[in-house]
Structure 1
Amino acid sequence: MAKITIERVYEPSDLKSAKRVLIDRLWPRGIKKEALVHDLWLKEVAPSNELRKWYGHDRERYDEFKERYLKELRSSPQREALDQLKELANKRLILLTATKDVEHSSASVLREILEAER
């Protein structure tokens, strides 16, 4: 089974053989588009702007954020983007994000879904 990992865009990576997908809705601050090593920017799979702003990386809201985000992922166009990500997850996949708290982020929710649905 191929492994799914999460990496911050600000940290170097030595995994060149994996598909590298940026999953944030907004381009990471301070990084030029040509400087980020990635295969795809799949911003459609990210939480809506409304949900992202409501959550604000407040850990006390994480459980409700996760529930709301899972609901969003069941609807189009996020569902289509998630299906595309599932196809890529058949091989080694790196989910790229700018978030500081990876374990309480949309990236961890996506990894959980992808691993559960294979």
Structure 2
Amino acid sequence: MTQIKLKRIYEDPEPTDGYRIFVDRLWPRGMKKEAVHFDLWEKDITPSPELRGWFHQAPDERWNEFAALYRKELNGSEAAMAFVEKIGQYPVITLLYASKSPDHNHALILKTFLDEKINSQS
């Protein structure tokens, strides 16, 4: 079974991170790709641009609805299902995200989704 961790992309990498995957659609401002240690940039499993834009207008008020809508996108996504298969070969992965909020970001929802899918395959 794959252990899934979360970390802001701005945090230093650690040997315990395992396979590091950046899971935002847009590259964070002010960061050079060469300076960030990541193994994969997975854009296709991020919230749609429309959903992301809608959520960012009022993140605290829209969090629960955003979570439900993003899960719906993930459940209907071939890319998300392919990603579940892809990460199964790694004992540890770390999902890297750029959001300032550790409590209201799509990586939290993605982690829960992936944990559920991986555990259902066991």
TM-score by length of 1: 0.87
User: Match of 2:80?
Assistant: 82
Q: For 2:100, what is the secondary structure of its paired residue?
A: coil
User: Match of 2:21?
Assistant: 21
Could you tell me how far 1:104 is from its partner in structure 2?
1.5
RMSD (Å), alpha carbons:
1.7
User: Match of 2:72?
Assistant: 71
User: Match of 2:44?
Assistant: 44
Aligned residues: 115
Could you tell me how far 1:19 is from its partner in structure 2?
0.8
Could you tell me how far 1:100 is from its partner in structure 2?
1.1
Show structure 2 runs of 5+ residues with no match.
Answer: none
Could you tell me how far 1:6 is from its partner in structure 2?
0.7
User: Match of 1:107?
Assistant: 107
Query: Once the two structures are superposed, what CA deviation does each residue of 1:80-113 show, in whole Å capped at 9, x if it has no partner?
Result: 3322332314520100010011331110001101
Could you tell me how far 1:16 is from its partner in structure 2?
5.6
Q: Is the 8 A contact 2:5 2:17 kept in 1?
A: no
Show structure 1 runs of 5+ residues with no match.
Answer: none
Fraction of identical pairs, as percent: 40
Query: Once the two structures are superposed, what CA deviation does each residue of 1:7-28 show, in whole Å capped at 9, x if it has no partner?
Result: 1011112136611110000011
Q: Is the 8 A contact 2:20 2:40 kept in 1?
A: yes
Could you tell me how far 1:42 is from its partner in structure 2?
0.5
